[in-house]
Structure 1
Amino acid sequence: MEQKIEKNYDESYSVTAPTTTRSKLKLIGPGIVVAATGVGAGDFVMATIAGANFGLTLLWVIIAGALIKFFLTEGIGRWYLASGKTILEGWHSLGWWATTYLGAYTIIFGIIYGAAITGTFALIMTAMFPGTPFSLWAISSGVAGFLLVWFGRYQLLERFMMVLIGIMFITIIGSAIIIIANSGSVDYSIAPSVPEGSFFQILGILGGVGGSITITSYSYWLNAKGWRGKEWVPTMKIDSTVAYTITGLFAIAMMIIAAELLFGSGTTINGNEGLVGLADAYEERFGSVARWALLIGVWGAVFTSILGPWHGISYLFADFIRVLRKKGKKTSLTNDSITEKDPAYRAYLIWITFPPMFLLLFEQPVAIVLMYGVLGSIFMPVLAAVLLYLLNSEQVSSIYQNSKVSNIIFGLIILLYVYLGGSELYNMFFG
């Protein structure tokens, strides 16, 4: 029994919960990984469009989006640490219909997301290097993620993600600081408001929050880190708070850059190529080195969105197979160890990497991204509803259950996603 437990996490990490804030901060990591996974080019595009069109009046939307991400991720972490069960085990407690739904969704997600994110990566790279083939970047990015995850373990993923976050922090936050230090030429308001014509930008920013099914990876990464038991809840809260503070700052930085460079200029930013247009405007003001620094930051954001799901959703699928094998018997992730060498884990890693390449042959990356957006709109309200049920159930001791304020927030999140999902589906079929 003890040997199985040791094999399921990195033994170099502390497995005793820290008691001081400083010691807790030294151990943060899983939250950074899940937050970085959910921050992709789409978030940056929407922040850029909003900044170019409305200045900084929509900063409040980014803050609201980061709070929603925090509450959903913290809810998954609190459920896992307080109950000792993964989110899939909690989902399974609702019945086999719920487990079947999540399993089927995971399979569909793999092929759609695998094509969407590698296609997004290819769009960025072909814009950065004109004339290079789209398929080359799409396939190479998927294979690179596959190799890093196949031969690595969680600790490698975390350290690599930390490096990418560091690069993003230096390039993107640094670019915003340079902009602020040289600001003053553009007149825009920073007072929170809902400007005329900003409705779809607000929906776009809020609609990207949560990172869809990738948030469910949090419980597996907590387990891989060696965090088990209720005593880790305070550390987890700090971990997720720091993570979404940092990722919120990234989106704010992009909005500041766009507002200063493009607001009032009449320049229109559309799609992922718009990020390159922003970089071109940045180059005109600060030179080619500054342009490439910004583009490298965007590249880091997209690549984290490849690595995270390749690793985390493979864990989720392996957990799904584990629950199926138990056929209703009591399970425990701690005792029924899942590692990166698990056959089901590796089978899903292959699934999310290679079959999606056939979708890319149609060279319709925007349509694929739209399909992924619809998938996210279908899943997120269900996840929020499941968490609302689980965190008020007797499976969690009363001290770790939702407060009245938390219940209200989860209820509002559900209503928001139902509205966003309905709007997205309506626009898809009738817009």
Structure 2
Amino acid sequence: MSAMSSNWDRRSVLRAAAGLAALGPLAACGSNNGRSGGGSGSGKNLVQYFHAYGEAGTEQAIKRYAKAYSKADVTTQWITSNTFETKLFAALLTAQAPDVFEFHPQIQMIKSGQVADLTDIIDPVKDDFNPADIKSHTVDGKIYGVRMIDDPQFFYYRKSMLEKANVSVPTTLDELIEAGAKLTTSKVKGLFLGNDLTAIQNNLIFSAGAETLDAKNQIAYHTDGVIEGLTKLHTLFNSGHLLLDSPTDFWDPSAINQGLCAIQFGGMWSMPAIQQALGDDFGIFPFPKIGSSGRLSVYNGGWSMFVNAKGKNVDAAKEYVKWLWIDQKKDQEDWATSYGFHIPPRASIAAQATKLKSGQAAEAVKLFNTYGHFDNIGFTQAMITAFNDVMANAVRKNMDPKKALDQCDTKVNRELKKLFG
């Protein structure tokens, strides 16, 4: 994930399993349709889809990389963030389908044959990738998608505000709630967890000591710790200490930068903008522990590059993906650190990323390595949406958390049966 230009929760909306389910099996489509590219290739045309990143210079960077590729003309479709999913999956049903596109690992895309097996281009450098990134893209021993960036998410806080209120950095949910109360004034809210709180639902599960699914692809989120967390978040929601009407959502650092809150949940991608606005007056900390089985957690988002397996230029597209996202280490480091801050998924590139070696950026990498949790490829958008409903009903409304989770279980088990029998 990275900052966006519209008020939109990319973590939950951009996973397209729901869109895939609605569309059904994706029709075969070709991308060798005579479109001219902007590169220096020798007649072969490829099209790649990217959503519009919020950081200045990102569009120019992607097009600059593509222009340098000599074996094909690569055209970039830079798509407005809040329409990206719709346009991507509509295009995949047509002759205008992209050859290459960025997205998140989703098991439906693999089971429907939409994305190509990239094991052959990744295997030679597999050991250089974060093992969790390889695992989250692997089904039946085959790797689908090349991870481009890892995006840890955590809390930002204003050091001066915590010092003035005599508040220590929270390590438990109870302490976070207490901090929110002490930091709230007539002009500043203590906490911002996103406008509808769904941004923190993965951390709610992880910090309660649970998982979305277990190793047997069975529900693992329905625990006493998660119930406790939901109950306490409901109390917090009604406390008056949460910022609930921020002009932009959690992915944008405007709330903390403009002094609307003292503590904001957000992503590492926002750090350069926060540094520019606040100087040294900020710190970061992981999502705090929930309950007796709790643990600190850092949810890892991120983006991956996929090849359209139903296009007519699959081999050429794979060759381009290998060239840019496997071979061009300088460009990969540039993409990860020259705009927003992201962690390169490859150890050799992360080791030379000097911008991530000091200050709060180094602390973010440390938190990521110590407390990071990754998406489960089997926990689909339909399941994520079902848990969105839990957050709505048990946190923002007044439903018994046990009942809300029971309703979620019914929906999730229905999806699990479809996928795994």
Q: Which interval holds the TM-score relative to the shorter structure? A: under 0.3
User: Relative CO higher for 1 or 2, CA cutoff 8 Å, sep ≥ 6?
Assistant: 1
Q: Which has the higher helix share?
A: 1
Q: Which has the higher strand share?
A: 2
TM-score (norm 1): 0.26
